[in-house]
A and B are shown apart, each in its own frame.
Chain A
């Protein structure tokens, strides 16, 4: 398809799922007997239609951008959204090559997960509601990616946050899940607080130098004007990213987000939404490029998150929690990359991670499904025999996340580590060492998960014979994603291995050439070999600990207990921040300031007037004689005053 016609169709990408969401929502709300009509088949069909349409148009965009020699993005303005004096925001979509990559995998993984959900949610009472939310999420995510300006991106950004909230709290009659949803939204809002201030700072700074706009194309060409505020502005935006992409200190919502249905964890809390922060930093790369300091901070936060989450991952026993912390950890790696200016490496990891992490989550879902909602890995074991497809695909994705060549994760993680190795001299080397250590940790806790779950003896309460593989509607998505986990890495074969890194050169028009110190291929081989060996070490230790010796579930002690409790960060926040704020509000602001002081003053004045009224009332005796006395005394007083005045 040619550029012009695809430009006219951009709106379809976010609106197709939106129409799906509205259609399902209306059908569901208007149905006379809730739950009976519309039928599950109709809802499932409707739900997959939108994402599929988006995927097809996204493919068109991808091809159009690939074919055309010009690298200008495709753009469609729908209408003027906000027009207020000089401030003007269009409701417009724009796709460049970065957007195209995001669109492709978001719609692809999104569609697959919709299909999977038909099987996974098949027996749930909130089936239609689920798909309505899921469609809505996809729509918001695509607006986030496609929005041609920061404000429209922010619309998508908050929209995905809302859907995330709705889906985490999907089984709302469980109070813990409802609270988890609320927590996700509020923590994200803390990040968004930074995000909006960043938007304001960018806008007002540009305004000092003439006309201002928040369109990405305008920002990219006028980025030099932002130089004086680059550090603050980029860090404010990064605060938003920390919320959405679960970085320290705002990562605490993501592990709790596992309360949502597993396909949600796969789509929203692993493959797409949580990578929005990385995407945003990459989108605003021209701003982050201006401030080396903020780049270093971003990478520093990234590596710290990667390590802390990996260490917590050691002690987790809920299959989804392990995956959640591993997501937090992998997101940390992505920020290390974009912080180091290796945007294409960061996005590449976003891309490969979407496949293997979605595969892991859906696999976990399949396991949970087979074991009747059991999530504790201590009560699993030996499942590979019973769940061959789930098990095999899970193992492939596991190898991918561990960074074993030639699986996808190897290429992307290696590119990140190689990039930091080549940036910032000593600081980069430190990050690289830490990253390498983190990679080993990743290999260890992921292997621990795999070995305990799929190998050894069955420890589940479900009789082993009764465990069945999931239906094809669930296993086919797994197979597709597992294939992806093997294959997508080949888009990014580094030049040292005889590849041409198609992925990076595809993104060159967006990010420009990533200049790094040139090292000989030899050093690159060594770095590569080191990361592979670290992964093998991690796997081996896990093998010795959990396969060679039969696994016995025991109460964790010491550091393991500390890790299981996620380092007590939630409790820390509660004690240090949340409780003091609200007890201050309740006891001081409300009871003292509002009720006692302000209201007290008001009532005091009222009291005063009634008391003084009471006093004055005594003068009104009702007898004429008293009044005459008053009259006489008053007249005498007046005369006295007049007399003194004259004198």
Chain B
């Protein structure tokens, strides 16, 4: 399978190249900008499909490329994919063309910069996911921030400046600590007097419990802000609401997962003891996030804010799945990340479509739309059902595995977390009823155009994936399982636990040996 073609580098740098190319084009020819970026992003998606096709379901990093950058500091250009990153990469490459396509109508000024930044963002996201070197990872991690800053700040809503600054400050605080943590770990991972930023070397580093706790604080703050976990979430509703549709889709669809990815890539393998020690806190924060996010979502009057808060709830599930440290939890969490990318991405797209039609996001401005826009109503319905985890659609698989794993660890936690299943239905069905059902109360709503061809092209692939992933999750689960097994082994090594549920079941808190 592994050809000599540097697939991952092509995948990563093609969007960057196009970004540069776009900057050379004249301002004003928006048709060229968007068509070029659409073609390139579709081509990038195609490349990622080839990578997926040749991906072997093992935990070994694949498509690896490596050459040293700064030998003295152990920094190298080194990329690869494994079961943790492959589907997140797919999510990026799948969502980017959709984001480009959904901006055709809405983004009319500075199209060159807009599409360029979207592609720059794609470059950053793919790079973050494929980086096998911590410093490279950090560079890409910071690169992601820049285009997002401009996308919200330049094409955002009324309060965009406030939202942008909040978003950047929050994230920067985390990044700084992350950098310190990475450097410290790299220093500890020195081999023969040479510092090594290779993530694989970091995984073998031995740290005392005290060191682990400090590093856990640094890493998890950075990642938890990105996720975001309660109570670090307040940047998210603002950023989401003010961002243009494309920005919200990427933000919800991919950027939030980078936080979770950080936990999977760095925190669990490097800091297993601290992860176990902090697990109860993280679990409780996750559960609070699930319930709190859902409740607060319900009382929103702004549709977009409602969907934004629902992300807090959904990501709570993901984090909960991870911190019970069993295969089903990890797999469920991984699956839920992809689900959330699709369902919340779809919901943001729909909110965007509603906004383009009515130039408002207030729930009270809508009502009875199922009559005027029946196709949009169907699309909305399916996306909503995916989001509430209806069996047969993708959302169910993730939620079910997470809750099952949680139950195996602690029925009480599971009972609290499962209440989110009810609350999820409450806020989304409330939203749907207010927007789509009921009599048409506003004259403006009587003659709205239904789904256009372009909008249908955007939504159909997402809806199809929701159904396919709901009925046939195994092709994905099979490919992520070995990598998840590996992390489980790494994180449970310190506690001498076995894999699978049994980990949680036979867990005897008293006998855990916290020192490696």
Contacts and interface: CB of A to CB of B under 8 A. Distances in A.
A29 interface: yes
Given A82-B473, A85-B481, A178-B433, A172 B404 contact: no
A599 B437 contact: no
A186 B298 contact: no
Interface stretch (A109-117, A560-568, A582-590): A582-590
Interface stretch (B29-37, B82-90, B371-379): B371-379
A602 B472 CA distance: 43
B437 A208 contact: no
A82 B478 CA distance: 10
Interface in B419-454: 419, 421-422, 425-426, 429-430, 432-433, 436-440
Interface residues of B, number: 65
Interface in A562-585: 581-582, 585
A173 to B, nearest CB: 5
Interface in B383-442: 385, 390-392, 396-397, 400-401, 403-404, 407-408, 411, 414-415, 418-419, 421-422, 425-426, 429-430, 432-433, 436-440
A207 B421 contact: no
B331 A84 contact: yes
A44 to B, nearest CB: 21
Interface in A170-203: 172-175, 178-179, 181-182, 185-186, 189-190, 192-193, 196-197, 200-201, 203
B438 A178 contact: yes
A193 B418 contact: yes
Interface residues of A, number: 54
Contacts of A86: 500-501
Contacts of A204: 404, 407-408, 501, 505
A158 interface: yes
Contact of B234 (A91, A174, A599): A599
B27 interface: no
A80 interface: yes
Interface string B472-516: 111001100100000000000000000111100100000000000
Nearest to B441: A175
A190 B500 contact: no
Given A197-B411, A204-B408, A207-B502, A84 B481 contact: yes
Nearest to A176: B438
Nearest to A594: B296
Nearest to B238: A599
B328 interface: yes
A385 interface: no
Nearest to A25: B378
Contacts of A159: 390-392
B347 to A, nearest CB: 17
B477 to A, nearest CB: 5
Interface in A141-193: 151, 154-155, 158-159, 162, 165, 169, 172-175, 178-179, 181-182, 185-186, 189-190, 192-193
Contact of B295 (A85, A87, A182, A585): A585
B21 interface: no
A181 B422 CA distance: 15
Contacts of B478: 83
B188 interface: no
B166 A602 contact: yes
Given A83-B477, A84-B481, A585 B368 contact: no
Q: 3 smallest A-B Cβ distances: which pairs?
A: A178-B437, A200-B407, A155-B391
Given A182-B430, A207-B408, 12 more contacts: A81-B471, A82-B401, A84-B481, A86-B500, A169-B437, A173-B371, A178-B438, A189-B422, A197-B411, A585-B295, A598-B233, A602-B170
25 contacts: A82-B473, A82-B474, A85-B500, A86-B501, A87-B404, A155-B391, A155-B396, A162-B385, A172-B368, A172-B371, A172-B438, A173-B437, A173-B438, A181-B433, A196-B400, A196-B403, A196-B418, A197-B418, A200-B403, A200-B408, A204-B404, A204-B501, A594-B234, A594-B296, A598-B234
